[in-house]
Structure 1
Amino acid sequence: MTASPNQANPDLQGGPTTTKKHWIDRLHHVGWTVFHHAQKHTGVGIVCSVAYFDPGNWGVDLQAGSQYGYKLLFIVLLSGLFAAFLQVLACRLGVVTGLDLASHCRLLFYDRPRHKKLWRWGVLYPLYALSEIAVISTDLAELLGSAIALTLLFPALPLWGGVLVTGADVLLILALGNPLHSRPAKVFEWIIAALVLAVLICMAVIIAKINIAWGPAFDGFVPSQEIFSSGALYTSVGILGATVMPHSLFLGSHLATQDRLSKKPLAPVSSLSSKVREQVLTGTASKREHVQYLGRAIWRKLRSFFVVSRAELDVLNARPMSYEHRENHSLEFVRSHLYHGMVDMVSSLLSLAVIINALILILASAVFYYGSGAYGSESPASLYDAHTLIQNTIGPAAALLFALALLASGQSASLVATVAGQSISEGFLNWKVSPVVRRLLTRLLGLIPSMTVAIVVGPNGINFLLVVTQVILSIILPFVIFPLIYLTSSSRIMRVRKTASEHTVISPGVEAHSLPVVTSLDDPEIIQTEDFVDFSSGKFMMSIGWLIWLVILAANVYVLVTL
């Protein structure tokens, strides 16, 4: 008996209604799948994007817009593309190898077969020192920017008092545990995401209240000769240093090593013994015993913040000292994390960092260069100037939003910089101290010079110092990019083992050591062929990487010579 067409194709049995329901179900399934993947994998890109619109960016973008109008928007776009490319390399390095960039630098230069001390003291430790200088410069900009925002919100607060208040945000990180754990700290990522969203909303509202000629603004994304005019290249290098942040490359590679799909819960750390916990839960303990035991538990918990636990010490001791003593992530891990991480990184940088930077520069151009507050090319606008003019021309509400956006960007970038400093010190030096101590030391390295600058220089020289810190970051950048491009271009480092059992008989004329095989213990004639999947950068990607490196190096050399 021949089946009818409707029986042969169930989708046609109900006619258009069934077909519509079928497509709705498919769209619903696709939507939930995208949401599930976004929920699991989104986070690293947002955290890394914070570094690209910190208060240092604000200072440089305000200077660029007030002096050159929309002409340097091309540099903002180009820097964003550079940042996206380099962050993707850092993401690939972390996902494939399971090690961050700082740890790779230690493996490369700490225990070389020849001239060990020369490599350590001539390359590794100077590179670590430059990385720490980058963190200090970043933290200096973050702390000063947040302090300025606080003084704008509370005029009676002195600048050094604002630095002190904003420096206390490290306590928030201490309460979040360790964001660099093998599993992501989602609370940390959600806090950063909320601050980023606050910056974007505030800037969008301010831009909506300004009359902007969008035609000339979009023309600014096209390269022009104005970039090479007197002083413009120096500001362009500052934009480049403010956008492509060295510490973000270290942090991005570290966060990419985390397992974002594991459903196994982390083992809770108990502060009370089982007997005490049982007494407390059952209510058999007296009030005095309850308070006494609780006090001991709190003391043990506080003490654990400043010492290395046995489990963490085992992890630190297990860190390899050479590439011969370690294995990369499994092929399954790489395939389930790599492309999600790359999409998250690129989309976050291009949709958040580039747009926010462009809005800041457009704001400065419209208000200062083309508007009633035109300063001309002789007087770059500062954060205080921008706040005052926005308040006078647009209104107090817009000025309040400006200060809130600056504060949100400074606090979020400061949190990220502190965690990045922890990653750098752990990777380069293999420190065996608690994460709390590492974060406190990292914050002090930025807090002391920030307090000094706030007291000695005062508000008048802050904007100049913000630009200088970004130029310093740009000068350090080639030294950080070089090992990143080298590592991701090496097939020896970026390969992942793929093992498949095959019944193969060893030919008598073939030597065992010449075969890429492992002999089976059960049957010497049954072997396992082992090959690798290469995730290193191809010739095209490698060429782009080295071209970016040469562009940054040439720009830095030009600025140093002209200065």
Structure 2
Amino acid sequence: MNVTPQERQATQPYANGWRRQSEQPSLPEVHRTIAVPGKGSWMRKMLAFVGPGYLVAVGYMDPGNWATDLAGGAQFGYTLLSVILISNIMAILLQSLTARLGIATGRDLAQACRDHYSKPVSFALWILCELAIAACDLAEVIGSAIALNLLFGIPLIYGVLLTSLDVMLVLLLQNRGFRYIEAIVISLITVIGICFAVEMVLSRPELAGIAQGFVPNKQILANPEMLYISLGILGATVMPHNLYLHSSIVQTRQYDRSIEGKRSAIRFATIDSTVALMLALFVNAAILILSAAAFHGTANEGVAEIQDAYHLLAPALGTGVASILFGVALLASGQNSTLTGTLAGQIVMEGFLNIRLKPWLRRLITRLIAIIPAVIVIGLYGEKGTTDLLILSQVILSLQLSFAVIPLVLFVGDKRKLGTLAAPKWMLALSWIVAIVIACLNGYLLYGTIFG
């Protein structure tokens, strides 16, 4: 009698290290839709893998990061640049692990959790992840609404409602092919980069101070206020939904499925995400540098809200262009995060629950979860309420992060699951250090946020 792979998996539940067998690929509508040349130069192959890393990088420069970077620069000058650098190195390591998991196993992180853990545990992880995505979506909604208000004077409530229209944009791009989404995201990242490059020229920062700021300073640990903002920067940098997103979208490439082909794909995907995250490092560092150059040592050292920074930049730098560029970059950041949040939401729901919803319905549900609390808070508390919501969204993200990082590190170190493609011991050792540091810092940040 012939036995199917699924039936064999059912009778041997831990064959190949997995409790269950995934029934369909991640993001099936775009799975293996982008060709990778089998022959040709190294650069041609590399270009075929360029794209997913930039979608991931969006999460590291979303509106949720801006408040902590602004506060750090205004209060402490360039000192906390080292914290941004360290958090970015952590991000590079973790994203390389997600690419390895997706390419080596053919599963995204959500599918891997479902196929490894019992149903109750998997369901609990799904609930936590959905809360994190809703929190991230909330930050995107608020960031875009603030940008629309600052640039065009659109009231915050109307700006929040306008963000629901992005459902149509995402659907249009998905129907035209995954490369279109990547092209839009890279274009918006370019806009953000250009805006902050011009801001750097206008603000005339101290180059010696910047260089010194990238060197870790023991004062960060000695000063409680500096330490707390540093924890905020670390907690807001690594986004849990990015781990699910990256492990899925690396599978949009038609790489060779042999061991050597997968090994090559892991290498190219890691290069892609590393280069993209270096751009995210530039953006986050630029926000802090701009804030330090414009506000540190002045009467505006206490600035921490995005709206205040927008209004104060023009007089501080002597030109209205500074504020306009800041607003344009914020709007591009919010819209970029919207595109990647859509995909992450789809990956998480389909991966954990193995169900399919129409994309417009899935996006509308997620967006309403973010819009409803934003409208209520803005209606009751006005602009001040948006800042509190941004802080709340980062706390929720921090709380969920370890529930994504720890399974990821467990999976990529398991040779039963990844075989010879499992992460080497030195990489696992670093990954566990990062996982423990993130868990401790985010726990401390959560405690400090709740109990002051």
* Pairwise TM-score range, normalised by the shorter structure: 0.7 to 0.9
> 1:172 Cα shift?
0.6
Q: Is the 8 A contact 1:233 1:559 kept in 2?
A: no
**Letter aligned with residue 483 of structure 1:** P
Q: Single out whichever of 358-367 and 331-340 deviates more from structure 2.
A: 331-340
Q: Is the 8 A contact 1:241 1:474 kept in 2?
A: yes
8 Å Cα contact 1:238/1:467 also seen in 2:
no
1:473 to 397, 414, 417: 397
Residues 1:407 and 1:560: Cα distance change in structure 2 (over 3 Å): closer
1:494 is matched with: 418
> Quick one: distance in 2 between partners of 1:468 and 1:42?
34
- The alignment covers a number of residue pairs equal to 408
- How far 1:336 moved relative to its partner? 4.2
Partner of 2:117: 109
- Report the alpha carbon displacement of residue 73 of structure 1 after superposing the two structures with TM: 1.0
Shift of 1:85: 0.3
Q: Does residue 308 of structure 2 align to residue 360 of structure 1? A: no
State the match for 2:250 in structure 1.
256
Distance change in 2, residues 1:54/1:238 (3 Å)? same
Contact map agreement 2:61 2:280 (CA 8 A) in 1: yes
Aligned-residue offset at 1:461? 3.3
In 2, Cα distance between equivalents of 1:445 and 1:431: 20
Q: CA deviation at 1:341?
A: 0.6
Aligned AA (1:74): S
Q: CA deviation at 1:549?
A: 1.0
The yes-or-no answer on 1:226 pairing with 2:150 is no
Deviation at 1:35, TM superposition (A): 4.6
1:330 paired with 2:258, answer: yes
Residue in 2 aligned with 1:531?
none
Say if 2:261 is the partner of 1:375. no
The corresponding residue for 1:426 is 350
Which amino acid is 1:68 matched to? F
2:339 to 391, 409, 415: 415
Partners of 2:231 and 2:441 within 8 A in 1: yes
Pick aligned residue for 1:484 from 408, 414, 437:
408
Quote how far apart the aligned CAs of 1:241 are.
2.3
For the 8 Å contact 1:237–1:471, the answer to whether it is kept is no
Matches within 5 A, 1:26-105: 33=41, 35-105=43-113
Structure 1 contact 45–346 (Cα < 8 Å) conserved:
yes
d(CA) in 2 for partners of 1:67 and 1:462?
21
**Please, which of 131, 134, 138 is the counterpart of residue 132 of structure 2?**
134
State the Cα deviation string for residues 188-235 of structure 1 (Å, max 9, x = none).
100000000000000100111112111112211122233222233332
**Most deviating of 462-471 and 425-434:** 462-471
1:176–1:188 Cα contact (<8 Å) kept: yes
Matched, 1:212 2:205: yes
Shift of 1:454: 2.5
One-letter code aligned to 2:211: F
Cα distance 1:144–1:537, how it changes in 2: closer, same or farther (>3 A)? same
In structure 1, runs of 5+ residues without a counterpart are 1-31, 111-119, 263-328, 496-533
Deviations 1:65-119 (A, max 9, x none): 1222212111111110011100000000001111100000001113xxxxxxxxx
Aligned-partner Cα distance in 2 for 1:461–1:337: 45
Matched, 1:552 2:441: no
Matched, 1:342 2:270: yes
Instruction: Tell me the alpha carbon deviations over residues 159-208 of structure 1, each in whole angstroms, 9 at most, x when there is no partner.
Output: 011111123112111112269xxxx7100100000000000000100111
Which residue pairs with 1:294 in the alignment? none
Q: In structure 2, what is the Cα distance between the partners aligned to 1:82 and 1:472?
A: 20
Closer/same/farther in 2, CA of residues 536 and 166 from structure 1, 3 Å limit? same
- Alignment of 1:163 with 2:88, yes or no, is no
Structure 1: which amino acid aligns with 2:304?
Answer: A
Letter of the structure 1 residue corresponding to residue 234 of structure 2: L
The answer to whether the 8 A contact 2:255-2:261 is kept is no
Farther-moved stretch of structure 1 (184-193 vs 463-472): 463-472
SS of the residue corresponding to residue 251 of structure 1 reads: helix
What does the per-residue CA deviation read over 1:250-280, in whole Å, with 9 as the maximum and x for residues that have no partner? 0000001222459xxxxxxxxxxxxxxxxxx
How far apart in 2 are the matches of 1:555 and 1:478? 11
Which structure features the higher share of helix residues?
2
Q: Structure 2 length as normaliser, TM-score?
A: 0.86
What residue number does 1:117 align with? Answer: none
**Among 352, 374, 391, which residue is 2:314 paired with?**
391
Q: Partner amino acid for 2:128?
A: L
| Cα offsets for 1:305-339 (capped at 9, x unmatched) | xxxxxxxxxxxxxxxxxxxxxxxx43254144221
Q: Do the aligned residues in 2 keep the contact of 1:137 with 1:446 (CA within 8 Å)?
A: yes
Which amino acid in structure 2 is aligned with residue 198 of structure 1? V
Q: Which amino acid aligns with 2:280?
A: A
1:192 equivalenced with 2:185 (yes/no): yes
User: What is the percent sequence identity of the aligned residues?
Assistant: 40
- Distance of 2:159 and 2:59 partners within structure 1: 21
TM-score for the superposition, normalised by structure 1: 0.70
CA distance in 1: counterparts of 2:255 and 2:434, whole angstroms: 33
Is 1:178–1:435's contact at 8 Å kept on the other side of the alignment? Answer: no
Among 365, 368, 378, the residue aligned to 1:441: 365
Unpaired stretches in structure 2, ≥5 consecutive residues: 1-39
AA paired with 2:146? I
CA distance in 2, matches of 1:362, 1:199: 15
Larger Rg: 1
Aligned to 2:144: 146
| CA-CA distance at 1:358 after TM superposition | 0.2
Matched, 1:460 2:384: yes
Does the CA contact (< 8 Å) of 1:50 and 1:413 recur in 2?
yes
Amino acid at match of 1:127: L
